[in-house]
Structure formats: C-alpha cells, structure tokens
Structure 1
Amino acid sequence: MRNCSLRTLPEAFFRNVNLEYLFLSHNRITTLPAEIFYPLRSLLHLDLSNMDTRRTGEERIENPFMKLIAGVDLHQDIFFPLISLVFLDLSNTRLEYQAFIALRSVQRRVQYVSYCNIGLPAIVDYLFVSKKIAMLDISYNVGVAQSLHSASFTLLADSLEVLYFKDSMVQQLNWLVPLQRLRVLNLRGNILRMLQRESFANLTNLEQLDLSYNYISAWNQQILTTTTALQSVNLRNNSIVILTTDMLYDFSRLSAMGLGGNTIQCSCNYVKFLRNILHNRTDVAGAYTISAEPLIVGRRGSGTISNKLSLQHVQLFDYEESEYLCMNFTSNQKLDPLELQDCMIPEDELINSDIPEEGEDEPAHAKNHTLVYILVSVAVSFLILTGVGLFYYWFHIKYFFKIMKNSAVLSFFNDEKLYLDKSGLLKEADFHYDVFVSYSNADRSWVLDHLLPNMEGVSQINLCLHERDFEVGYGILENIISCMDRSRCLMLIVSESFLLSHWCQFEMHLAQHRLLETRRDELILVLLEDIPRRKCPKTLSYLLKTKTYIKWPTKSVHEQALFWKRLHKTLLTSKA
C-alpha cells in the first residue's frame, strides 16, 4: 500500500485480516483511527514513513507556519494492540506535538525503531518502554540534543547495538556512557568539537564510528584505549589541523579510517604518514594500506626504543589526492605532501617524542620546573587582570556569546552538510522588500489595520509579512532567512506577546546577527506597550540601550500622526 495517495483509512479497514508486514509509506495520511490496528495482533513489521502532511488552501493561509507544526495525529494507545511488532518505521513522518505520547504504547517486543525526522522534541523514558531495542535512528531531530544527559539512554543499556543520531546539533557525548553493547554509532553532521576518553570508556563492543562533518579538533590523550573491538572511524570534514602522537596510536588500533577534507598542517608527522600510505596499495578501490614498515617512536635522551607504532593494517577508505592536501599556514597555501622534501628528523623521533604508555594519562613533557613556575605566575597575573575586565564588561560579554550561539543556528541551515543552498531561496541578492516585519499573532490586527495601510497605502513602502509573503513549500527557517536577506530594513513590533513567542525571539536574535554579519544598521524597534523590566530579556534590553526606538501612542490622534511621520521619514531615508 505504498505511495497510493491515501488520505484516510476507516477503522474497520483491517478487520478479518491477518498480516505480518504492513507498508503505508509515501501516502498523505494525516490521522489514523484509534482502534485501526486492533485486528493486527500478529503484525511484525509496520512502515509509516514519509507521510506527506502538507496542508493546502485555507489552512496554510490561516497559519503560514503550518508546515512546521502540522503532522500526523495519532491516538495515545494506537500501537497498544501490536503485541508482536518487531520493526517500526516512522522516519520522515512529522507528528503532531500531542501525538508523541502515542510512542509510549509501542510494545515491549520492538527491536528496530526509526524516529528519524519526526520532530521529536526530547528524549523521555516512555520512548523506550521496549527495553529490547537493538537498532534506533533518531537523526534529524534538532530539538533532542538540548535534552540529552548522562541517563538519557539508560533503559537501552542492555540492548542497543546500532544508533544513528545524524544532523541533530549534538555537541556533547556524556550520554554514551551507559551504552556498553553499542556496535555501530553514526554522529555525522553534528556540532561536536572535542572528544574525551570518558565518553568512549564503556564502549568496549563498538566496531564502527562515524564522526564526519563535525568540528572536531586534534586530541592530546589516547581516547580509544578501551574500544578494543573498534575497526572503522570516519573523521572526514572536521577541524583537525595537526596529527598528534595520541591520535596516531588511536588510529593504529583500527582497520579502516577516513581523514579527507581536513585542513591539516604540513608537518613531518603528516608527510611521513601520507608517504607510507602509497607504499602498499590494496585491492580495495579507494583504499590504501598505511606502511608495511612500522613507524618507530622513541623517547629523546633514552638509549632504547620504548614503543613501536605500527599502522600497517590500517586502510584509508576515502583516499583522493585533492582531499589529503596539507596547509602551509605561513604562505596560506595548500600543498601536495608527496612533493615536499624529506623531514630531517631521526627515524626514532619521527612521529613524536615522549610517547604515553597505554593507560597513562599524560606524557611527562615538563622537566624544567623553574620555567613552569614562571609560566604559572604569568598566567595567574593574566587571569587576575582578565577577571577585573570581565567584572566590568560582563553584560556585554554574555550578550556577545548569546549572539554567537544564535549564529550557530544560522550556520546550521547554511552549511553544506544540510544542503539548504539547493533550495534556490538563498541565491537572490537584490532587495525585494523595504521592511521585514516581525510580530506576534496577538499583534496581527495592529499590523494589518494600522501599519500595512499607512506604509504601503500612503508611502508605497513594501512590507514583508510572513502570512502573505513567505514562499509556499519551503521551510519556515529558509523563508525567514531569505526574506531578511531580501529586505532593506528589519522591523520588530515589540509587545509582551512578542516576548512570549519563540519564533519572534528567534527572529530578534537572527536580526541582530544579520546586522553584525552584513555591517548594516537598519533595525527599527516599535514598542506597542511598555515592557516591565522583569519581563524584558537581555537581548531586547541591549537593543533598547543601543538603538533608537519609537513607541506607539495609544490615545492621542495627534501623537499617532507624528508617529507615522517619523516612521515614514526613517524608512524613506533608508530606501533612498
């Protein structure tokens, strides 16, 4: 029953039918009767993926955000009769917010679950009533990452073997600790920056790890010492600049890996590393064996070799010459490592000196204690001076980091990994609107009855209103970003209801970021009412302190006329 353009099913549709496999994907079902699955006690496999829940007509005109909030509506006990169910696929089927409670009715025999891109807001215990789930896909659920903590997956500690958690803005890994049976972990396309040994300490059964398209930098302690079963690691397109000794020791435990797309410094480590790759070409297309000859690592000043770093069994599954160029940061050029001169370093000091033994936390680098004391004294003095500066400028610093946080959200939607540039919305550079207006639904009547006729009717100032000008069929965030880029000015209609709207808050942060990014100063604040200080967020407080705003007079007709005159003058000046 795939792709049959079904919109609804009667409650008795499966009566007197004995099914084990049911495929309803790629239909347009928006709701299912509460007892539709009651006859299917023997069902093993249920596919409800890729339901097209797009609304048309009056529904979209009434609410332009319908694409984001609309989804399939499920009764809270709809899965309860499926006592034999083993496989459940809801991928790419967005659920109504209240429909998520239906997931707690999934029975205890389910082992394979896909909640990929269903708009899942958080990880809660009722998602894992079945403690036998062996494979779980929760990719493309951006809101989930904010709710992660060390006990998020505790209920799956004894069962989960495969976890896909791609493109969900995951930024920390302490929630991995309970998952001792995990064999496959895919974290592609998140915002991870640092890897820590503690995150992988219990993953003794892990075999495949995909960390590509993150922001991971080099690490200086061996983090994979306990992952004895690990065979493959994908680190493509991260922020790795150097190869440290600890990284090479971690790589030596692998059978296959990928490092392409990183901007790695042209160092002796990297040059020797790549040259050894080409010594032994394998029969696998695109893969090369790293060095049949072990790389020797010794400690300076010692007469004996302490460790031998052997990478002879490791293969690069993604090797292409253009992907493995190195960067000369002095000349700011990318170079071919194979064309560089040999490093003039003794063979026993090739990779690094002072190699940590397995299980040793840190190498003993610092032997000159006097130098350490001097450095510590300088550092303490610097910290004291920094602390004094932070005390006086704390508010501005906090606001700066808040802006940076929101800019990360914008980068997420502009990033190559999410392919939003394919939509075509982001390619228009000319101003199409004079003013992008951000307002809450409670202030809609003021915008339509006062602002719109006084702007477009009197001065022919072209406004961008979400309910009228957003492109049908594109994502809400794509529309917001595109319309802001194509608007000459940004106007915030501020009221208490504006501050309670999450979309309005997002547009306020995004507007501030856009102004910083484009070096424009075209932000207009219109206050419909006085905002109590206790309700005023710090972002708005900062804008009110740094921007001239205009307040709507509610009583005097003369003052209202003056209000429109001032607003016309400001907008016509920016338009000129």
Structure 2
Amino acid sequence: MFQHTPRLLNLEITKNDQWDNPDPELLKSITDLQNLHLSENHLKSLDIISEANLTKLEHLILSNNELRIIDEAIFKRLPSLKYLDLSGNPFVCNCSNAGFIYWVLSDKQVFVAKAFQYRCSYPLSHEGELLVNFNIQSCFESVGLFCFITSSSLVLLTLVSSFTYHFLRWQLVYGYYLFRAFLYDGKKKKEGCADVYDAFVSYNVHDEEWVYHELVPELEERQGWKLCLHHRDFEPGKAILENITDAIYSSRKTLCVISPQYLQSEWCSREIQMARYFLLFSWFGPEGRLDPVVSGGDPSDQLSPFYRMRKLVKSRTYLSWTQARSHRGLFWERVRRALESGNDPTDTHDPLTANV
C-alpha cells in the first residue's frame, strides 16, 4: 500500500473495524515516518510496529485498541520516539507487563501520555486498579529466585559430577559390569551352563615368565586345570573391563599373583578390585572365589602403602612362593586343594602360608 510513498511523514489510520490483524510488513517501506496515529483499530498486538523500520518516528498513538500485554523492547527499537499514547487499552496486571511498567517509570526520553491513568482489565481480581500500582518487585524476585535456583543447581551438579568422576568413576564402571554379570548369571542359571575356566589368573606382565614357566606347566599340564590368561584368552576387540568381568565370572576361582610390579599396575588393581566386588554379592558365586598367591615375597612394609590390598590379604590366607623354599611340592598341593575345594587353606602354621 505504501510502496510508492517511501517519504511519507505522517500517517493516520483510525476506527478501522476490520483491521485487528494487519499485515506486519505494511509499514516496512515507510522509513521516514515521524507521526503515526493508529487509534481505535482493534489492534491486539504490535507486530505492525515491530516489523517496520521506524527509526525516525517521534509520535506514536495507539489508544483505544485491544492491547493487553506490551513488549517494551519494541519502543526501545524506536530511537527517535518522544511521545507515546496507549490509553484506553485493556491491560493485564501480571508479570507479563512488569517490563513495560518498569520502562514507563524509568525511561526519561519518551513521554507516555496519561501513563498514571492506565487501568487494569485482567485478571478480575485487579480489574479497575491502576497499572503503575502493580507490584512488579515480586516478579523480579521470582525471576531472581529462579535464576538463583538454576545457577545453584548447575553449580551443585558440576561439583557432584566432578566428585563422582574423580573419586567414583571406576566404582560406577564396576557397578555397570557387575550388573551385566548379574544378568549373565541369570542367563547361565537358566541354561545350566558350567564354568568355562577353573581359575582366572590375574598377574602383571613382569611376572609373565614365572606364570608361564612355573604356574601354567604345574596347574594345566600336570594337574589338568583350565586357566584363563589375559594374554592368551582375552577376546580381541572387546573392552578391557568387559574381558576382565567375563574372565572372572566365567572362572570358579581367581588367582592373583601379587608382586611389587602387580601392586604398581593400574589394570591389576582393577582386576583384584573387580574380584573383591564379586565376593560382596553372594548371588555371583560361592565364597572363596579369590585366592592371593604372593610370588615376590613382599614383606609387610611393601604392602603398607596399598590399603585395599593390605586389607584383603589381612582378611584372607595367601600362599607365598618365596617362603616355599624346599616345599615347592607342598605349595602346589595347597594350590590344588584351593582350586579343588573352593575354600582357602586354613592352616596358618604351614610354612607356605603367612598373614600380613
């Protein structure tokens, strides 16, 4: 309509009963407009103003329309505006108009005609009250409280996440794999499957020579036990913890070859910790699943920095390879008894056993 009058300075459109939803781009081409009068047009929104580029508009009259909620940001985009008339509109007295009320009371550039006479029409509990008397402070307090709760929740969530990641991440990972083992246990019971291995051997790579030259020939070749060794039996491509879980759960026993290198190993620590977790839940298997075997002859002072290992060894009898000396046959016999019966050796006076 106004494409051919881009330099129009004054425009008045009033008392238009069928103009309650005008085209938002109607005024877009009138960039030099200075005075705009849109009274009594049943306007329900200010889209026609917000979509226009009225940087030179000085006077705006929107009286006697059907405007309920006013977005004050629209007027902030009119840098030349000096006079505004919104009288006769059915304003809503709630937090939706809090920003507009604050702008009316604080803006020094725009004169809002009859601003202190604007009255509320909605809700009914505020009908007839002055718009400027509405308590906007409660709205800002609610927003502030919401922001405080949100920011506090984010901070707390960050702290809890950091604490969990730093201190409990492996426990959560273990819990996940234990849950999977629990499901696997139910499946095995339904299918009636027997254990795949007689024992899973947990050892450090530095003790590999002793395992392959002493332990494996004795237990597999001479005694006939089926062992699970991670270098030989772990499934390629599967997650390490998943391999550990499957190996421990698929074995009747877990033999831990404890040495100074074992104590320093991160993955060996997780293997024995996983085996300890299996002991905590009776539904995972019989007691006595974990059997420590000390190959390096570690004295008490070497175990002292390793609280969990020291606590474990204190609570369970273990076999010491270095203390066996000339009793190697008896050492392997006691290992055989442990694997065969599923119970730990109980004779603490035997020269092959010691308690830290």
- TM interval, shorter chain, is 0.3 to 0.5
Q: Which has the larger radius of gyration?
A: 2
Flag the structure with higher helix content: 2
Higher relative contact order (CA 8 A, sep 6+): 2
TM-score normalised to the size of structure 1? 0.28
TM-score by length of 2: 0.44
